[in-house]
Amino acid sequence: MAVSDIDLIHAWKQVLTLSRLEAGQIVTVLTGADTHPQTLRCAIAASSEMGARVNRLDLPPVNAEKSLSRDALAYLGTTPLTGNAAAIAALKASDLVLDLMTLLFSPEQHDILQSGTKILLAIEPPEVLCRLVPTAADRTRVQAAAKRIAGARQMHITSKAGTDLRCPLGAFPAISEYGFVDEPGRWDHWPSGFVLTWPNEGESHGRVVLDRGDILLPMKDYVTEPIELIIEKGFVTRISGGLQAEILKDYMASYEDPEAYAVSHVGWGLQPRASWSMLGQYNKESHIGMDARAFEGNFLWSMGPNNEAGGSRTTACHIDIPMRHCSVALDGQPMVVNGVVQDEQGLARAARRKDIA
């Protein structure tokens, strides 16, 4: 269902206020061929109404000839900023970059952030942005979970479907994604609402069994039959199952990069307003699946790069896999039990759903 410009401008102003935008600051809106026109005009209107000095930097697309998907996250690393010193300089000179193009996992993004510029990614459809406007309470909840991860030395993930994965921790930081950028040099993604980290290199081991209803991204497919992944020394060494397993293997093999099979980030969703069922309502090319990544109680893990956390792996392939009905423990302490987050909010919501059922 479409949203009005008034509602989307209001949503932008809430996010920009949480991001501490001040009158007189420089905002650069980074756009590309797939930028949603309503998101663009409302971002400019909201920033201008708040007194910012607004620029737009529009860049041509890249990587179409290399990717098997139109998804913005299907081929990473090289961006329209690669080798473009003038564009990078403009973004570094900005207080805030509104990324409506997608720079995720790029060296250029890290360079810009190190200058103190804040970057907020926002490429989901306008109605999704309005439904998932972040709040200060989102930040508090996500940061509390990140603090638990930061103090842990092992994440253990299990499920009734057969998952039993152990991920030693400590080499990489805990990352809080809550949907706005309130500190210099911060990157975030609106919408979001989850916590994550990267396991120690070469140490993750175990078995992951994807069950019916788990999600493959960027394919944006619900799993319809079990897929088993064996993980040894930090890499997926075997993928087995039916047709979807064969599609996943063929897709990953197309990158011709062994680093694509490395375990990347691991964590869980904390956004109660995100919906697991959203994928069933939208055309695949209209979104990138942030509901799937953020819905409360998922176990979200991935294969691919770790340079977002300061690592050296920059493979172009990135597979995100949100799973339902998993249990996640940190050093033996349960954080998620069978898909229910074990904090006050998660337990209260689970009780309400039980009463309704």
> Could you give the residue ranges of the DSSP H alpha helices within 132-265?
136-150, 243-253
Handedness of CA 186, 192, 194, 197 (dihedral sign): negative
* Alpha carbon distance 68, 71 (integer Å): 9
**pLDDT over 90 at 69, yes or no:** no
What is the pLDDT averaged over residues 83-95?
A: 96
Alpha helix locations (H) across 254-302?
290-294
Confidence of residue 308 (pLDDT cuts 50, 70, 90): confident
Residue 135: its pLDDT value, please? 98
At residue 70, the pLDDT reads 74
Over residues 5-44, the pLDDT tens digits come to 999 999 999 999 999 999 999 999 999 999 999 999 999 9
Q: Angle at the Cα of 32 (from 95 to 182), degrees rounded to 5?
A: 25
Residues 291 and 147 reside in one and the same domain? yes
pLDDT confidence bin for 354, thresholds 50/70/90: confident
Q: What CATH number is given to the structural domain containing 86? A: 3.40.50.2300
Strands 333-337, 221-222: parallel, antiparallel or unpaired by DSSP?
unpaired
15 & 109 share domain: yes
One domain for residues 70 and 151: no
Task: Count the domains in the chain.
Answer: 2
Residues 250 and 149 in one domain: yes
If asked whether residues 115 and 233 sit together in one domain, one would say no
Whether the pLDDT of residue 314 is over 90: the answer is no
pTM for this entry: 0.95
> What's the confidence (pLDDT) of residue 64?
66
Q: What are phi and psi of 323, to 5 degrees?
A: -120, 145
Spatial distance between the Cα atoms of 291 and 275, rounded to a whole number of angstroms: 5
| Cα–Cα distance for residue pair 119/110, rounded to 1 Å | 10
Rounded Cα gap, residues 25 and 99, in angstroms: 16
Residue 151 sits in the same domain as residue 201: yes
Q: Pick the last residue of a domain from 101, 130, 159.
A: 130
For residue 180, what pLDDT band results from cuts at 50, 70 and 90? very high
Alpha helices in 32-125 (DSSP H): 37-49, 85-92, 107-114
- Other beta carbons within 10 angstroms of residue 241's beta carbon come to 18
40 and 159 assigned to the same domain: no
Q: Lowest-confidence range among 46-55, 212-221, 298-307, 348-357?
A: 348-357
C-alpha distance from residue 296 to each of 34, 39, 130, 254, 321 (Å): 29, 26, 18, 32, 14
Do 222 and 294 lie in one domain? The reply is yes
- Give me the domain span that covers residue 88: 5-130
Based on the domain organization, do 218 and 147 belong to the same domain?
yes
Least confident of 61-75, 127-141, 216-230: 61-75
Query: Is 155 found in the same domain as 26?
Result: no
Residue where one domain finishes, among candidates 130, 161, 196: 130
Residues 153 and 266 in one domain: yes
What is the per-residue pLDDT for 105? 73
Tell whether 124 and 152 lie within a shared domain. no
- Residue 195: name the closest of 320, 323, 301 by CA: 301
Which of 110, 130, 150 is the last residue before a domain boundary? 130
Q: Is the previous residue joined to 322 through a cis bond, with omega within 30 degrees of 0?
A: no
